[in-house]
Structure 1
Amino acid sequence: MTKISDGSSRSPRGEIGGIPTRYIGIGAIVVLAVWFLFANLDKVKIQFWVFTVTAPLWIALLATLIAGVALGWLLKGRRSR
């Protein structure tokens, strides 16, 4: 049998230029997060229950981002079981 092509040059589902859309989305979020971190370089006071720390805002934002990624990774593992 001969395979007939319909002439379309569509990429496989979920890919743009051979790159999975998941990686493109992750890359966009990383770029935006880095831009947001460097746009917030002022020093801030961070108050915990007992003590207060003065640190650059980007460090607090980075710590929050890392905590969110870790929490998402842990919850993803629970969902797949």
Structure 2
Amino acid sequence: MTKISDGSSGTKRSEIGGIPTRYIGIGVIVVLAVWFLFANLDKVQIQFWVFTVTAPLWIALLGTLIAGAALGWLLKGRRGR
């Protein structure tokens, strides 16, 4: 059951079984991302502007995931401005 609790900072948080829903959402996304990475183990050619490399697809997907997470982390501070 979803429970609304009042945190010490005066903000309301949703919890399921005592775990904040934000952590549950992050956990679900991480599990799905890892599953997606391991479902794509074939080797592919990745072409950059100047050169081409052959690597497993999961490495390219992991690099894209990390780059997206880094961009999200860097841009999250701009929301409040």
TM-score by length of 1: 0.84
Task: Determine the C-alpha separation between the residues in 1 that align with 2:78 and 2:31.
Answer: 28
Residues 2-81 of structure 1 correspond to what in structure 2 (within 5 A)? 11-12=3-4, 13-81=13-81
Distance in 2 between the 1:11 and 1:30 partners? 24
Q: Which residues of structure 1 form unaligned runs of 5+?
A: 1-8
Task: Please state which structure has a larger fraction of its residues in strand.
Answer: 2
Deviations 1:7-40 (A, max 9, x none): xx86225110010000000000000000000000
Partner amino acid, structure 2, of 1:57: L
Larger Rg: 1
Relative to structure 1, the CA distance from residue 23 to residue 10 in structure 2 (aligned partners, 3 Å threshold; closer, same or farther) is: closer
- Percent identical across equivalent pairs? 86
- Following TM superposition, the consecutive aligned residue runs of length 4 or more in structure 1 with deviations greater than 3 angstroms are none
Q: CA RMSD in A?
A: 1.5
